[in-house]
Chain A
Amino acid sequence: MPEIKTQNFSAASAEAILDPKLRRALDRVAEGFHVARLDRIEEVTQETWDGWKDQAREIKVHTIEHLDYYLDLLDKNVTAAGGHLHFAKDADEANEIVAHIVRTRNIKIVTKSKSMVSEELGLNPVLEAMGVQVWETDLGEYIIQLAEETPSHLVAPALHKSKEDVAALFSEKLGIPYDEDIYHMAATARMVLRDKFMEADLGISGANFVVAETGTLVIITNEGNGRLCTSAPRVHIGITGMEKVIPSMQDLSTFLRLLPRSATGQRITSYVSMTTGPRRSEDEDGPEEFHLILVDNGRSKLLADPALRESLYCIRCGACLNICPVYSRIGGHAYGWVYPGPIGAVVSPMLVGLPKAKELPQASSLCGACREVCPVNIDIPKMLLDLRKKTAESPDSSLRSAPETERILARLYAKLMSSPRLLKMAVKFGRFTQKLERMTPVFSPLTQDGKWIRNAHIPILSRWTRSRDLPTLPKQTFHELWEKELSRDDS
């Protein structure tokens, strides 16, 4: 697995939020996707859209509830088509399956189309260590491979890079003159990669869906690189998460309506490539061997947990990232692992281990925008809340997300709010300290008019008042006003 940096979320996000270039990139791409997505919904009407969403969710619920059945069916049909299906329980096992094929088939050059699961496995370094050349062929993936970075978005991996960044990168790594023209840059990448498609012995692809009834791997792309990876080399390996199985081609049609519209706001992507087994005798081209590796790598933990199971319905469209007010300010890298944004904050903790990523579910205002845009109606806020429950009061201290003081404060809060008498005393004490502060500011200086606390030095309060003012306690609570005047006025 790639390096896990989820523990550094606070520091990484604090740095990212100050990066104006990142913000511009996020506004341009994520916001652009979001606006295009809304246009597509308007086109088909909200009612139709909601119907598709419900249908998609129903398919996912059914499939995940009967996952073992559909995996068996898929296995049978992949084999019947002349392919091989492999199950990998974790990243090491998946990488070893690929490594074994590479060794035994004397593979020297690999072309890859976009695969987040291969990022999750950390496959490229494993192959490179074997002396194999690995070429990412999705333009965004190619850019970040050259830059030696990781994807920052599920569908737009190089979203964080401006065209100036890419021009400088191409100039440095490819030894060509600096040229910001996007068409020229794409043409350069195409020229470099075109030869590789022809030279490659092995093509590795991800899968947006795998269809159980036919054993078909489906990828949707805009660059055509996916089709070249899956057809030109003599061996094709598809790698994906075991949750990507869907029952039938008819079900696929539902998802093909939803995924491009949700992801990039396209009615359909430029290419929808379906691969069923290796080349048949009557086929003009296609690989001699077809392997499909289905990866667990922590997904069975999500499957076993009724509160988190629906995270397996995710089709990785990225709509929740694009709408998220947190993601759209800090970008993907701050999340510290392969899957960023709201869905990443649910999935990553379960895949890398909750103790390492317990901070991620906290990093949400629970505004619910992600649930609203999800094409399969995944209740992400509810799962974030569930993970907060799992980390707040766990007897296992490695799971607890906050210092002991927070637990004590939570208990004190419940005690205080359970006793109107105690609360009244606390409010009086608060007003008294405000008076003292007004005379001699010590912990929480008040503004001139006494209406606001500014630049407090007390923990927690100080985190609020570093850039915002906090209203002071007024002379009377509503309770007091009610008792004194309001209660009598009822006519």
Chain B
Amino acid sequence: MTANTKITADLFVTCVVDQLYPDVGVSVVRVLRRLGVSIGFPGDQTCCGQPVYNTGYSHQARILAKRVLEQFKDSEYVVVPSGSCAATLRVFYLEIFADDPQLLTEAKALAAKTYEFSEFLVNVLKVEDAADCGASHEGTVTYHPSCHLLRELGVKSEPQKLLQSVPGLEQKELEGAEICCGFGGTFSVKFPHISEGMVTDKVANVQASGADTLVSCDMSCLMNIGGSLNRQESNIKVRHLAQILDVESE
């Protein structure tokens, strides 16, 4: 990547990262800055509305979606460190505003400039080598492709490509990688028994992978898998991809 054309991107940090995993947001900012991106952070941002939208409360989701449309109206790029929240902005907003031509136009404009973190790095910044972000990692890592990133956004190879190029990092294969971890937003507390069954299998596969760290691009999935790992007193760490790329994070 050439650093002479400075790219400006606004960060939609997501409510999960804001309130529970601020370090992930810090790593995102550091990695992007190292790649020469100028970062903006619209200060009034909160939640994209997905928790209410997925539970069927589209009126409430609309209230929150309108705020996001307004806040990122003038952004050149919007970077989201979550496949699920990026999918909300890019896919679900088009459904939410399908019946409102004015807002649908705005939603389409937002969708066109919204990128999940890993795809922004690979497809916009054209990062070929994670060493460009200054990344290095000693240890073994396995990757959980989160469902919305994979199936709503179609982002499959980008995170893998970045991980593969991290100096020192050894990737381990994850059995049943593309099977949902069982989070599913409110699903996890509406049907805890099914959700637990799903995360139990995911955790077993993570443990069987032999990796010391589980990486994903969605902290909500990692909250689920990590919460289960912690209950089982496992030493396996969970990390957002940005934390792996950001050497200073550890």
Q: Which residues of A contact B (CB under 8 A)?
A: 10, 13-14, 17, 325-326, 329-330, 362-369, 371-372, 382, 385, 387-393, 401-402, 406-407, 410-411, 413-414, 417-418, 420, 423, 427, 452, 454, 460, 463-464, 466-471, 473-474, 476-483, 486-487, 489-491
In the complex the two chains form, what is the Cα distance from A389 to B56 in whole Å? 4
Contact residues of B: prevailing secondary structure: helix
| Given A14-B193, A17-B194: A368 touches B22 (CB 8 Å cut-off) | no
The smallest beta-carbon distance between A193 and chain B, in angstroms, is 38
Query: Which residues of chain A come closer than 8 Å to B33, judged between CB atoms?
Result: 489-491
Closest to B152 in A: A368
In the complex the two chains form, what is the Cα distance from A420 to B46 in whole Å? 7
A481 is contacted by which of B25, B46, B152, B231 (Cβ under 8 Å)?
B25
In the complex the two chains form, what is the Cα distance from A252 to B191 in whole Å? 40
Total B residues in contact with A, Cβ cutoff 8 Å: 70
| Given A392-B57, A420-B44: A479 touches B18 (CB 8 Å cut-off) | yes
Q: Which residues of B contact A (CB under 8 A)?
A: 13, 15, 17-23, 25-26, 29, 33, 38-39, 41, 43-47, 49, 51-61, 63-64, 67, 95, 147-148, 150-152, 178-180, 182-185, 187-200, 223-224, 226-228, 230-231
Taking a contact as CB atoms under 8 Å apart, the answer to whether A393 and B179 are in contact is no
The smallest beta-carbon distance between B191 and chain A, in angstroms, is 6
| Given A367-B151, A417-B64: A477 touches B18 (CB 8 Å cut-off) | yes
B63 is contacted by which of A390, A418, A477 (Cβ under 8 Å)?
A418
B197 is contacted by which of A329, A392, A452 (Cβ under 8 Å)?
A329
Taking a contact as CB atoms under 8 Å apart, the answer to whether A413 and B60 are in contact is yes
Query: Which residues of chain A come closer than 8 Å to B187, judged between CB atoms?
Result: 362-366
A417 is contacted by which of B46, B185, B189, B228 (Cβ under 8 Å)?
B46
Query: Which residues of chain B come closer than 8 Å to A452, judged between CB atoms?
Result: 227, 230
| Given A13-B194, A365-B183: A479 touches B43 (CB 8 Å cut-off) | yes
Taking a contact as CB atoms under 8 Å apart, the answer to whether A367 and B180 are in contact is yes
Taking a contact as CB atoms under 8 Å apart, the answer to whether A393 and B56 are in contact is yes
Query: Which residues of chain A come closer than 8 Å to B38, judged between CB atoms?
Result: 490
Closest to B59 in A: A393
Taking a contact as CB atoms under 8 Å apart, the answer to whether A418 and B46 are in contact is yes
The smallest beta-carbon distance between A399 and chain B, in angstroms, is 11
Taking a contact as CB atoms under 8 Å apart, the answer to whether A385 and B41 are in contact is no
A363 is contacted by which of B15, B152, B191 (Cβ under 8 Å)?
B191
7 shortest A-B CB distances, which residue pairs?
A365-B184, A392-B56, A388-B56, A367-B180, A368-B151, A468-B227, A414-B60
Query: Which residues of chain A come closer than 8 Å to B56, judged between CB atoms?
Result: 385, 387-393, 401
Query: Which residues of chain B come closer than 8 Å to A420, judged between CB atoms?
Result: 43-46
Taking a contact as CB atoms under 8 Å apart, the answer to whether B63 and A414 are in contact is yes
Closest to A400 in B: B56
In the complex the two chains form, what is the Cα distance from A469 to B227 in whole Å? 4
A469 is contacted by which of B58, B151, B231 (Cβ under 8 Å)?
B231
**Could you jot down 5 A-B contacts, CB within 8 Å?**
A366-B185, A387-B56, A393-B56, A410-B55, A477-B19
In the complex the two chains form, what is the Cα distance from A473 to B63 in whole Å? 26
In the complex the two chains form, what is the Cα distance from A486 to B199 in whole Å? 35
The smallest beta-carbon distance between B107 and chain A, in angstroms, is 16
| Given A389-B56, A393-B59: A460 touches B198 (CB 8 Å cut-off) | no
Query: Which residues of chain A come closer than 8 Å to B41, judged between CB atoms?
Result: 482, 486-487
Query: Which residues of chain A come closer than 8 Å to B19, judged between CB atoms?
Result: 427, 473, 477-478
Query: Which residues of chain A come closer than 8 Å to B58, judged between CB atoms?
Result: 389, 392-393
Task: With A325-B179, A366-B54 given, name 20 new contacts (CB 8 A).
Answer: A17-B193, A325-B182, A367-B184, A368-B150, A368-B151, A389-B58, A401-B56, A402-B55, A414-B57, A417-B15, A418-B63, A463-B192, A464-B189, A467-B200, A468-B196, A468-B230, A471-B20, A478-B22, A481-B22, A490-B39
Taking a contact as CB atoms under 8 Å apart, the answer to whether A468 and B25 are in contact is no
Query: Which residues of chain A come closer than 8 Å to B151, judged between CB atoms?
Result: 367-369, 371-372
Taking a contact as CB atoms under 8 Å apart, the answer to whether B196 and A392 are in contact is no
Closest to A487 in B: B41
Taking a contact as CB atoms under 8 Å apart, the answer to whether B180 and A325 are in contact is yes
In the complex the two chains form, what is the Cα distance from A202 to B15 in whole Å? 63
The smallest beta-carbon distance between B49 and chain A, in angstroms, is 8
Query: Which residues of chain B come closer than 8 Å to A385, judged between CB atoms?
Result: 53-54, 56
Query: Which residues of chain A come closer than 8 Å to B179, judged between CB atoms?
Result: 325, 367, 369
Query: Which residues of chain A come closer than 8 Å to B227, judged between CB atoms?
Result: 452, 464, 468-471
The smallest beta-carbon distance between A342 and chain B, in angstroms, is 12
| Given A389-B58, A469-B230: A417 touches B152 (CB 8 Å cut-off) | no
